[in-house]
Amino acid sequence: MNELETKCPNTWCPGCGNFGILMAIKQTIDELIKRGTPKEKIVLVSDIGCNSKIVDYINVNSFYSLHGRPITTAEGIKLANSDLRVIVFTGDGGTFNEGSSHFIHAARRNANINVFLHNNRLFALTTGQFTAVSPKGLKGKSTPEGNVEEPFNLPELAMAAKASFIARGYSVKVDHLKKMMLEAINHEGFSFLEILQPCPSFFDTAKDYNERTYEAINPEIDSKEKALGFIREWNYNGEGKIPLGVFYKTERLHYEEEINKGTEDNKVDIKKCLATHL
């Protein structure tokens, strides 16, 4: 674990949910290395935002992309180097406002990458504007009289986009979150892990989540119907329980397998490809 430390000063606010996510991913990477994944085969790709600073705090290869563009960057990295494990860290604003089309197409084509979403349900780094998953009525810098829009249900959106792995964790429940991370990373194909993350500075949801979240287990993990039953228990507005866990998992060929079919060693030589076609 000590080898994963960096010298970057941490600038998150005290009590930020990102600390729990950092703890869980460090433990997860430590576990992957112990199980035999070379450290240099792990690549973290970030967006821009409070969430994205996480890559500064972990001593592993990483790439800061543009706001809303980490998924497409990760897809390129994975396609050119299929033996890497590529993990995206992003925020709800970056990926479901600016970058929503990248998310749905990466899920649809089953790109073999992991998307870990720090969901604090607003744009935090820019001080609290509403996003596509803010609850109706949320008061913030850009909605002083309350947000009038309906939020997306993200796992439901992921299901409609054909994601092959869909799960939810909570930054306070670090052991459970680590389990979700390991399952997502070990899944072959597109994995979406939504991580509920309180932002004490602009939308402090910790008390609410502590009371309402529970660990759900889908007995038929490849049943869309069963998964949607759990997923629809919470629509980001209103009362009721909030399920955590792996909601859905299925196997199908992933994007790199489809693209690499029939090539030497089942691997596209990107350099050769560019030299031939440019």
Ligand X SMILES: Cc1ncc(C[n+]2csc(CCOP(=O)(O)OP(=O)(O)O)c2C)c(N)n1
Shortest Cβ 18–ligand SF4 spacing (Å): 5
Shortest Cβ 33–ligand X spacing (Å): 27
Based on CB atoms, which residue is closest to ligand X, 91 or 245?
91
Q: Give the three-state DSSP class for 52.
A: helix
Shortest Cβ 253–ligand SF4 spacing (Å): 37
Shortest Cβ 62–ligand X spacing (Å): 16
Asked whether position 91 contacts ligand X by CB under 6 A, the answer is: yes
If you write DSSP's letter for every residue of 185-247 in order, what string do you get?
Answer: HHSSS-EEEEEE--BTTTB--HHHHHHHEEE---SSTT-HHHHHHHHTT--SSSSS-EEEEEE
**Cβ 171 vs Cβ 121: under 8 Å:** no
Residue 92 binding: pick among ligand SF4, ligand X, none (C-beta 5-8 Å cut-off by kind) = ligand X
Residue 131 binding: pick among ligand SF4, ligand X, none (C-beta 5-8 Å cut-off by kind) = ligand X
Based on CB atoms, which residue is closest to ligand X, 32 or 50?
50
CA-nearest of 2, 6, 75 to 45 is 75
Based on CB atoms, which residue is closest to ligand SF4, 79 or 124?
124
Residues 104-123 that bind ligand X (CB under 6 A): 118, 120, 123
Which residue in 55, 88, 124, 180 binds ligand X (CB under 6 A)? 124
Asked whether position 194 contacts ligand X by CB under 6 A, the answer is: no
Residue 48 binding: pick among ligand X, ligand SF4, none (C-beta 5-8 Å cut-off by kind) = ligand X
CA distances from 127 to 97, 108, 233 (A): 16, 32, 30
Residue 27 binding: pick among ligand SF4, ligand X, none (C-beta 5-8 Å cut-off by kind) = none
Based on CB atoms, which residue is closest to ligand X, 51 or 112?
51
Site track 8-37 with ligand X (rule: CB under 6 A), x = hit: ------------------------------
Phi/psi at 113 (nearest 5 deg)? -130, 165
CA-nearest of 36, 101, 47 to 74 is 47
Task: Give me the residues that bind ligand SF4 (CB under 6 A), please.
Answer: 12-13, 16, 18, 50, 120, 124, 199-202
What whole-number distance in Å separates Cα of residue 81 and Cα of residue 101?
23
Asked whether position 125 contacts ligand X by CB under 6 A, the answer is: yes
CA-nearest of 84, 68, 72, 59 to 2 is 59
Which residue in 17, 20, 70, 93 binds ligand X (CB under 6 A)? 93
CA distances from 82 to 41, 64, 78, 218 (A): 10, 20, 5, 31
Residues 55-84 that bind ligand X (CB under 6 A): 67-68
From the CA atom positions of the chain, what is the Rg in Å?
Answer: 18
Count the Cβ atoms, other than its own, within 10 Å of residue 40. Answer: 9
Q: Give the three-state DSSP class for 66.
A: coil
Give the distance from CA 75 to its chain's centroid: 14
Contact footprint for ligand X (CB under 6 A):
47-51, 67-68, 91-94, 98, 118, 120, 123-126, 131
